[in-house]
């Protein structure tokens, strides 16, 4: 039996997942750690934590499974996207990594658009300049830490620092690289025009590879640290969202991955490099060769329900909270909820956006409010689907849902009705780490391509089909929902000014 390992270095833990050649999970281990917020809006992390977590987690899955390390034929890497890791000429870390959720770079985003032009930036990269991306972080270091900037020899993403520690190679995959704002969408490689405009030396950037390509092999030093066999192949892998899409089988046009966690992510594969002209969706290469993807992100999805439960029904189990809402008719008797509790990203990149209940009357009960929260999140997710259709994405035939919110049958039905599409669950629940392991399997030759790997390992376990009557109700309610943000945008701005006084 041959085995594969997927390594996922997230913001809070590094996970190692061991699967066999049939795609069955053999062992899982995770090593947790913290990140720092040394100033308001800042978010940083010591890259050494990822390496320590990788070593500990690999050793644990090998010990728990009892397999011969020589039977591991490939390792795939994934992890948090957009983080900035700077190395000097000796390969030493120059400063803590600036993470994806760091918000210090607003002025650098403006500077990028001023140098390149927003429309030209979106045309080249598929994306607008956002504070989460890597490129504005590089400019921030140049402007605020010139002594650090002067010593840069290599720029890596978080999972690629782990790759460097495992193999000694400077390499990245094209999906994760897309999240730097430095990649030309059409060519799937670094954009000479953007790199030059931002004053970045090309030799600082690692070589790019497809997610299924072998980028190097495990070094003797890393073998001694992890317990794996020296020479074990490493593949490109992918950023967490692209690898997660592979993990649920969203690798073909028409199949969309919907992650219903604290935030909500809509991920759709595309056979060509398409983008939303205003940059309201992310457009990156996929982790599979010859594929791209569009991605929409709403900031408070299941997070909205958690806030609602903790604030208005503290201590109540989610099942007990949701059960009465099932008796409320679709549309919550005219009550709408805006899920912008932490600002929003898609379709409104507005940190000042706020949440709201609209349409409250004395006949509305708590179950009405509960259902309205579920429906408001579903409407917010539908915004991404609408933008994808406008961008030219082919018709969606199936939505593969995952995340904590997907455990609710009521919420799955509401989503199916609001989206007007079949919603399915799948047998794989380890997300990005599982996708990284499948990518490693393709690189190792266990499957001829990613599509085959997904077909042979990812199975549909449940299906929720839309109710035509509810679809009609939600079509009308969604039209009203879309009017709320434009109507309230000025109010949100005034409320924000009041908060700061």
Answer whether 3-243 and 302-385+468-500 agree in fold. yes
Q: In this structure, what is the dihedral angle of CA atoms 251, 382, 402, 413, given to the nearest 10 degrees? A: -120
Confidence category of residue 499, pLDDT binned at 50, 70, 90: low
How far from the centroid of its chain's Cα atoms is residue 472's Cα?
Answer: 31
> pLDDT tens digits, residue range 432-453?
999 999 999 999 999 999 999 9
Residue 151 to residue 94: CA distance in whole angstroms: 8
Secondary structure of 299-368 in HEC code, one letter for each residue: CCCHHHHHHHHHHHCCCCCHHHHHHHHHHCCCCHHHCEEECCECEECCCCCECCCCCEEECCCCCCCHHH
pLDDT given for residue 20 in this prediction: 98
Evaluate the CA torsion angle 320, 326, 327, 331 in order and state its sign: positive
Which CATH class, in words, describes the domain spanning 249-299+394-464?
A: alpha beta
Residue 500 in this model has a pLDDT that exceeds 70: no
Which CATH class, in words, describes the domain spanning 302-385+468-500?
A: alpha beta
CA angle 284, 8, 398 (to 5 degrees): 50
Q: Is 350 a catalytic residue?
A: no
Q: In 3-state terms, what secondary structure has residue 254?
A: coil
Task: Provide mean pLDDT across the span 335-341.
Answer: 97
> pLDDT tens digits, residue range 367-400?
999 999 999 999 999 999 999 999 999 889 899 9
Residue 125 to residue 277: CA distance in whole angstroms: 11
Task: For residue 445, give every residue at least 6 positions away whose Cβ sits within 8 Å of its Cβ, in sequence order, or none.
Answer: none
Q: Which CATH number is 3-243 given?
A: 3.30.420.40
Every domain of the chain and the residues it spans: 3-243, 249-299+394-464, 302-385+468-500
Residue 395 to residue 397: CA distance in whole angstroms: 6
Residue 342 to residue 101: CA distance in whole angstroms: 13
Q: Please state, in angstroms and as integers, the Cα–Cα distance from residue 31 to each residue in 55, 60, 110, 395, following that order.
A: 9, 10, 37, 40
Task: Provide mean pLDDT across the span 38-61.
Answer: 96
What is the pTM assigned to this prediction? 0.92
Task: Tell the burial category of 99 from Cβ atoms under 10 Å away from its Cβ (0-12, 13-18, 19+).
Answer: buried
DSSP code at position 404: G
> pLDDT tens digits, residue range 92-115?
999 999 999 898 999 999 999 999
> pLDDT tens digits, residue range 165-178?
999 999 999 999 99
Residue 140 to residue 137: CA distance in whole angstroms: 5
> pLDDT tens digits, residue range 238-297?
999 999 999 999 999 999 999 998 899 999 999 999 999 999 999 999 999 999 999 999
The whole-chain average pLDDT of the chain stands at 96
Which of 128, 173, 176, 240 is catalytic? The answer is 240
pLDDT given for residue 429 in this prediction: 86
The per-type count for the chain, helices as H runs and strands as E runs, is: 17, 23
Strands 336-338 and 356-358: antiparallel
Residue 3 in this model has a pLDDT that exceeds 50: yes
Task: Provide mean pLDDT across the span 464-490.
Answer: 98
Residue 267 to residue 245: CA distance in whole angstroms: 7
Helix (H) or strand (E) holding 112: helix 106-116
Evaluate the CA torsion angle 149, 153, 157, 162 in order and state its sign: negative
How far from the centroid of its chain's Cα atoms is residue 238's Cα?
Answer: 10
């Amino acid at each position: 039996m041959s085995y594969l390992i997927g390594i996922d270095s997230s913001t809070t833990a590094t996970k190692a997942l061991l699967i066999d050649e049939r795609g069955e999970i053999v062992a899982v281990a995770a090593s947790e750690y913290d990140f720092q917020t040394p100033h308001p809006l800042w978010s940083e992390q010591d890259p050494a934590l990822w390496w320590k977590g990788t070593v500990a987690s690999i050793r644990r899955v090998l010990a728990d499974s009892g397999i011969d390390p020589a039977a591991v034929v490939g390792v795939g890497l994934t992890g948090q996207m957009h983080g900035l890791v700077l190395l000097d000429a000796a390969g030493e870390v120059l400063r803590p990594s600036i993470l994806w959720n760091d918000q210090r770079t607003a002025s650098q985003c403006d500077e990028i658009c001023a140098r390149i032009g927003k429309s030209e930036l979106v045309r080249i990269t598929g994306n607008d300049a956002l504070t989460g991306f890597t490129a504005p972080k590089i400019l921030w270091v140049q402007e605020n830490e010139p002594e650090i900037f002067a010593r840069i020899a290599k720029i890596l993403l978080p999972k690629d620092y782990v790759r460097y520690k495992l193999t000694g190679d400077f390499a990245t995959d094209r999906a994760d690289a897309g999240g730097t704002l430095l990649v030309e969408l059409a060519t799937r490689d670094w954009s000479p025009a953007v790199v030059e405009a931002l004053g970045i030396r090309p030799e600082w950037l690692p070589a790019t590879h497809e997610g299924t390509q072998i980028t190097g092999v495990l070094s003797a030093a890393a073998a001694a640290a992890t317990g794996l066999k020296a020479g074990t192949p490493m593949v490109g892998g992918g950023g967490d969202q692209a690898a997660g899409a592979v993990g649920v089988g969203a690798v073909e046009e028409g199949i969309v991955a919907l992650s219903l966690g604290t935030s909500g992510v809509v991920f759709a594969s595309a056979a060509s490099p398409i983008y939303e002209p205003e940059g309201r969706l992310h457009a990156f290469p996929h982790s599979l060769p010859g594929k791209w993807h569009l991605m929409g992100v709403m900031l408070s999805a299941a997070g909205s329900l958690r806030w609602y439960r903790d604030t208005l029904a503290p201590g109540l189990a989610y099942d007990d909270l949701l059960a009465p809402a099932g008796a409320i008719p679709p549309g919550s008797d005219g009550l709408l909820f805006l899920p912008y509790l932490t600002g929003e990203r898609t379709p409104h990149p507005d940190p000042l956006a706020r949440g709201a209940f609209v349409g409250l009357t004395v006949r509305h009960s708590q179950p009405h409010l509960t259902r309205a929260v579920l429906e408001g999140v579903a409407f917010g997710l539908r915004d991404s689907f609408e933008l994808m259709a406008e961008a030219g994405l082919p018709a969606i035939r199936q939505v593969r849902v995952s995340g904590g919110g997907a455990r609710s049958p009521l919420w799955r039905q509401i989503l199916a009705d609001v989206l007007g599409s079949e919603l399915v669950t799948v047998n794989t629940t380890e997300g990005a780490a599982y996708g990284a392991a499948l990518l490693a399997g393709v690189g190792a030759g266990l499957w001829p391509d990613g599509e085959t790997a997904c077909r042979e390992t990812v199975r549909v376990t449940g299906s929720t089909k839309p109710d035509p009557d509810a679809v009609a109700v939600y079509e009308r309610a969604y039209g009203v929902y879309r009017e709320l943000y434009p109507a309230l945008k000025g109010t949100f701005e005034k409320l924000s000014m009041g908060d700061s006084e």
